[in-house]
Amino acid sequence: MKDASPQTIHLSDYRPFAYTVDSVHLTFRLAPKATRVISKIAFSPNAAFPGEFFLHGQDVKLIWAKIDGVDVTPDVTDAGLTCAVPDAPFVWEAEVEISPATNTALEGLYTSNGMYCTQCEAEGFRKITFYPDRPDVMSVFTVRIEGDLPVLLSNGNPVNSGDGWAEWHDPWPKPAYLFALVAGDLAAHPGSFTTMSGKDVALNIYVRPGADEGKCAFGMEALKRSMKWDEDVYGREYDLDIFNIVAVDDFNMGAMENKGLNVFNSSCVLASPETSTDANFERIEAIIAHEYFHNWTGNRITCRDWFQLCLKEGLTVFRDQQYTGDQGSHAVKRIEDAITMRSRQFREDNGPLAHPVRPESFIEINNFYTITVYEKGAEVIGMLKRLVGDEAYYKACDLYFERHDGDAATIEDWLQVFEDTTGRDLTRFKRWYAQAGTPRLTISDDYADGTYTLHFTQTTPATPGQDEKAPQVIPIAVGLLSQNGEEVQPTVVLEMTETYQSFRFDGLTEKPIPSILRDFSAPVILQREQTNAERAFLMAHDTDPFNKWDAGRALARDVLTKMITKDAAPDIAYLDGVAAILRDDSLDPAFRALAISLPSEDDMAQALHDDAVTPDPLAIHRACEALKVAMAQHVQDILPRIMADMIVSGPYSPDAKSAGKRSLGRAALMLLTRIDGGAAAAKTYAEADNMTMQLAGLSALLMIGKGDAQSEAFRDQWRNDRLVMDKWFGLAVAMAPPEKAAMVAQALTQEPDFDMKNPNRFRAVFGALAGNAAGFHDPSGDAYRLLGTWLIKLDAINPQTTARMTTAFETWRRYGVTRQTQMREVLENIAATSGLSRDTAEMVGRMLG
């Protein structure tokens, strides 16, 4: 629905609500197109902040309202209602009607395959009933659900139930965004957990009856591991008698941490060896942990307002990253996270959508569930931990939980516990929350008389609305290696606080080779003159796994840049480095797979743009392909052995070690396929007994323009599995040759099982199109226009997913005039669409602005 005058909300305008909510009773009478919601809410005036009685409400039809039992007639607008109320505590009652079955935006109460479910974060509760829908208004909820369905769930503990009704009570005060209701014909996969203080908690994963029931076991074990980990590492215990997870097919995001009733996109919880890849298993485990960890970082301590989103998200992402590292390899996890930061967060931070980890204004908060708030927010916590040390970090966290339990807190509260614990002044560090943009760190060095000095200069480019940047506090982890590869200075963390700063290392006998920004100790871009010989040296000798990997990356980037801009042949130093990594059986296979992987084509476009070269996606694609062929030829004698060694025998297990072996095996297969005509890939596909290898075989074949028969067979085999079919839809577009990508995507939208109402299916096709860099940027402009057309269609039914997907265009200014014009036209077309949602209007406005 068109919002005539979208309001910009500012952090500086924060004011507490004029009333407190003492209790909430809700009764739901479920009906697909006419659900009735009866609310009974006890309010008290907030003496310290008197003001208007305003309740949010959107797309809800008011049937009646009462105050203290007497009928009232509030003033109702599109956004909510106001009403004259007593100057003393009172009870508000209202009945409203809503239509879950026609709610395609998937916010508020909606239906998905006949199941009722809710999504209230950030501002969905106002689509359920009139309420002060803001995170600092917290209350205890009691919920009665009436409906002719076997399973009726809400937050907290079950109180009572009978035929066609159930009552739930959540003793923990919560904001409305954590409310949830689920009702449907669901099957439970049960489990249990005994907490550290000996309390038994009933666990359930609810799914649609049938095939999905066989896909719950992994999620249940992951949940138990998460519960244990949060006790062991953060001392956090679960606080209700029951913890429920529900899998839903239609969901805008990954999952949601509603108190005691987490709702998951089915793709983020359902797993089986036959239908899920190793990457799926890893992601599912991380998301289950993430949502569970929110119980303390998000729910027990929530956010005062939506500007503080990173308070819960940055911290919870940081915690899930720690958890994943603990389950497998910290080094591998750190490299994976750095890849995400550099490719997706740096891309955001260096474009028109750049914003601080804690934004200062927004039009639509749903547009700020971003990689910056989540991932850079987590990096900021990681830097804080590195600066204060582990012991102080956990002490500060303890203080945070103790001091703010039950609060709606702010970033100031979070930093205060660190100041109080350590005595440090974090004023300057706080800039990480306020200043957008990726700092560039320029490095030079000198050596004389046994003293080695590193000189750093930091600058942060201007970002929208922020022209001037102040220096950041940057923890720079550094180690020094001798010329023959021994570590002469183990890792130290240099704390850079100024624009220019130098650090000295004394007592050396020769000029060392520095290893800088170990473990990716800060989300910054290093700018440094470095020879490929030095990079190759670090690739071979660095003791820090992140920098060992990164040296290879830097080398690959340089090789590709010269292939693209100078038509150079692949540098033998890189090819030798790859061969050495592949041969080194002492290295973790998962690490080896990462170490021989290339930067993505989009990363290369960004790198060229940073070097003031206009990127040509097709030239980048060709160079990447040529380099992969050269790599394959250079290491062809090693590949068969690697593939044989990396076969994991016995029944499939998604554990990190087995997955790591498969990862290296697949990397070898991808190389081999470029020189063996697809024989090994066809064999892999035919013999696969798990989705990881089946998909690896199929992808490899499609990559070389083969695999039509396998693709058809795959489709026949998995026709009835929605999640696997999403993979099939996505793969067809991702692997399409550049000039055909748009056509393939367009053809897929005509398939009977393409359903634009299902965000997973829409993302499968169009996320893959945007991800096929050379295809998306095909000179015809067809892919731009196709995506634009479909985004306009989707906006009318699902603004949130549409707005997110417009980010495919966020890099438009990187490219040459023709592409810029084509993309700008698409953005302008979207912007000019009548009835465009506030979500999408804000995004395209910022991109064009």
Q: Is 62 exposed, middle or buried (0-12, 13-18, 19+ CB in 10 A)?
A: middle
Nearest distance from residue 124's CB to Zn ion, in Å? 15
Give the span between the Cα atoms of 262 and 245, in whole angstroms. Answer: 5
In the complex with ligand 0A1, which residue's Cβ is closer, 121 or 810?
121
255 binds, among Zn ion, ligand 0A1, none (CB under 5 to 8 A by kind): ligand 0A1
291 binds ligand 0A1, rule: CB under 6 A: yes
Closer residue to ligand 0A1, CB minimum distance, 177 or 452: 177
Q: Does 321 bind ligand 0A1 (CB under 6 A)?
A: no
Tokens read off for 26: 């809700």
- For residues 403 and 401, what is the distance between their CA atoms, to the nearest angstrom? 6
Closest to ligand 0A1 by CB, 313 vs 336, is: 313
Cis peptide, bond prior to residue 122, ω within 30 of zero: yes
Binding site for Zn ion (CB under 5 A): 313, 316
| Both tokens assigned to 450 | 């046994």
Contact 10, 61 (CB under 8 A): no
Between residues 35 and 119, which has the closer beta carbon with respect to ligand 0A1? Answer: 119
Q: Is 256 in the site for ligand 0A1 (CB under 6 A)?
A: yes
CB 262, min distance to ligand 0A1, A:
9
Two tokens, residue 705? 């323009």
Say whether residue 836 binds ligand 0A1 (CB under 6 A): no
Q: Do the beta carbons of residue 830 and residue 836 sit within 8 Å?
A: yes
Q: Which is nearer to ligand 0A1, 604 or 843 (CB)?
A: 843
Q: Does 133 bind ligand 0A1 (CB under 6 A)?
A: no
Binding segment (CB under 6 A) for ligand 0A1, from list 23-31, 252-260, 555-563, 690-698: 252-260
Beta carbon of residue 761, minimum distance to Zn ion (angstroms, whole number): 24
* Integer CA distances (angstroms), 40 to 22, 171, 299, in order: 11, 17, 23
Distance of CA 455 to the CA centre of its chain: 35
Shortest gap between Cβ of 302 and ligand 0A1 (angstroms)? 11
| 123 labelled catalytic | no
* Residues 26, 24: Cα–Cα separation, whole Å: 6
Residue 438 touches which of ligand 0A1, Zn ion, none (Cβ within 5-8 Å per kind) = none
Residue 264 or 776: the one with the smaller Cβ distance to ligand 0A1 is: 264
Q: Least distance in Å: CB of 347 to Zn ion?
A: 21
Closest CA to 90 of 136, 32, 151, 44: 44
Peptide bond into 408 cis (omega under 30): no
CA distance 744 to 740: 6
Report the candidate in 681, 656, 561, 665 with the shortest Cα–Cα distance to residue 615.
561
Task: Specify the stretch interacting with ligand 0A1 by CB under 6 A; choose among 25-33, 255-263, 276-284, 410-418.
Answer: 255-263
3-state DSSP assignment of residue 725: helix
C-beta closer to Zn ion: residue 112 or 316: 316
Q: Which residue in 336, 305, 320, 440 sits closest to 377, CA to CA?
A: 320
For ligand 0A1 (CB under 6 A), the number of binding residues is 15
Closest residue to ligand 0A1 using C-beta atoms: 253
For Zn ion, which is the closer residue by CB, 258 or 547? 258
**Contact of residue 375 among Zn ion, ligand 0A1, none (CB under 5-8 Å per partner type):** none
The single residue among 168, 229, 369, 400 that binds ligand 0A1, judged by CB under 6 A, is 369
When asked if residue 122 is in the footprint of ligand 0A1 (CB under 6 A), the reply is yes
At residue 2, what is the residue type?
A: K
Choose from Zn ion, ligand 0A1, none: what does 253 bind? Cβ within 5-8 Å by kind.
ligand 0A1
Report in angstroms how near the CB of residue 87 gets to ligand 0A1 at its nearest. 36
Q: How many other C-beta atoms lie within 10 A of the C-beta of residue 139? A: 19
Out of 55, 117, 121, 186, point to the residue binding ligand 0A1 (CB under 6 A).
121
Give the C-alpha distances (Å, rounded to integers) separating 389 from 231, 383, 421, 465: 20, 10, 11, 34
Find the catalytic residue in 121, 291, 348, 375. 291
CA distance 661 to 691: 15
Decide whether 295 or 422 has the Cβ nearer to ligand 0A1.
295
Among 94, 223, 253, 744, binds ligand 0A1 (CB under 6 A): 253
Q: How far is the CB of 264 from Zn ion (least distance, A)?
A: 12
Element (H, E) at 581: helix 572-583
Please, which residue, 313 or 603, has the CB nearer to ligand 0A1?
313
Q: What is the per-residue binding string for ligand 0A1 in 776-815, x denoting contact by CB under 6 A?
A: ------------------------x---------------
CA 355 to chain centre: 16
The backbone region for 38, taken as left when phi is positive above 0, alpha when psi lies in -120 to 50, beta otherwise, is beta
In the sheet that 54-56 helps form, which strands lie side by side, from edge to edge? 54-56, 80-82, 75-76
Residue 338 lies near ligand 0A1 (rule: CB under 6 A) = no
Q: Which of 67, 255, 581, 672 binds ligand 0A1 (CB under 6 A)?
A: 255
Q: Using CB under 6 A, which residues numbered 733 to 772 contact ligand 0A1?
A: none
* Closest to Zn ion by CB, 316 or 840: 316
Question: Closest approach of Cβ 698 to Zn ion, in Å?
Answer: 33
User: Are β-strands 61-67 and 187-194 bridged in parallel, bridged antiparallel, or unpaired?
Assistant: unpaired
* Least distance in angstroms from the C-beta of 297 to ligand 0A1: 10
Asked if 201 and 194 touch (Cβ cutoff 8 Å), the reply is yes
> 518-577: which residues touch ligand 0A1 (CB under 6 A)?
none
What is the rounded distance in angstroms from the CA atom of residue 294 to the CA atom of residue 284? 15
Element housing 158 (H / E): strand 157-162
Measured distance CA(149)–CA(166) in Å, rounded: 10
Q: Which is nearer to ligand 0A1, 127 or 661 (CB)?
A: 127
Q: How many CB atoms lie within 10 A of CB 169?
A: 16
252 binds ligand 0A1 (CB under 6 A): yes
93: left (phi over 0), alpha (psi -120 to 50) or beta: beta
Q: Which is nearer to ligand 0A1, 136 or 313 (CB)?
A: 313
Q: Give the whole-angstrom CA distance, residue 46 versus residue 799.
A: 35
User: Which amino acid belongs to residue 817?
Assistant: V
Stretch that binds ligand 0A1, among 250-258, 605-613, 673-681, 815-823 (CB under 6 A): 250-258
- What's the token pair of residue 776? 């998306």
User: Does 257 sit near ligand 0A1 (CB under 6 A)?
Assistant: yes
Q: What is the largest CA-CA distance in the chain?
A: 89
Examine residue 250 and tell whether it contacts ligand 0A1 (CB under 6 A): no
Q: Indicate which single residue of 313, 364, 542, 616 sits in contact with ligand 0A1 (rule: CB under 6 A).
A: 313
Helix (H, G, I), strand (E, B) or coil at 151: strand
User: For ligand 0A1, what does the binding mask look like between residues 184 and 213, x meaning CB under 6 A?
Assistant: ------------------------------
Contact residue for ligand 0A1 among 20, 112, 302, 366 (CB under 6 A): 366
Answer with the entry of Zn ion, ligand 0A1, none that 369 interacts with (C-beta below 5 to 8 A by kind): ligand 0A1
Give DSSP secondary structure letters for 740-792: GHHHHHHHHHTSTT--TTSHHHHHHHHHHHHHSHHHHT-TT-HHHHHHHHHHH
Q: Which does 122 bind (CB under 5 to 8 A by kind): Zn ion, ligand 0A1, none?
A: ligand 0A1
Q: 35, 99, 111, 119: which one contacts ligand 0A1 (CB under 6 A)?
A: 119
Residue 842 interacts with ligand 0A1 (CB under 6 A)?
no
Active site residues: 291
Binding residues (CB under 6 A) for ligand 0A1: these are 119, 121-122, 252-257, 290-291, 313, 366, 369, 800
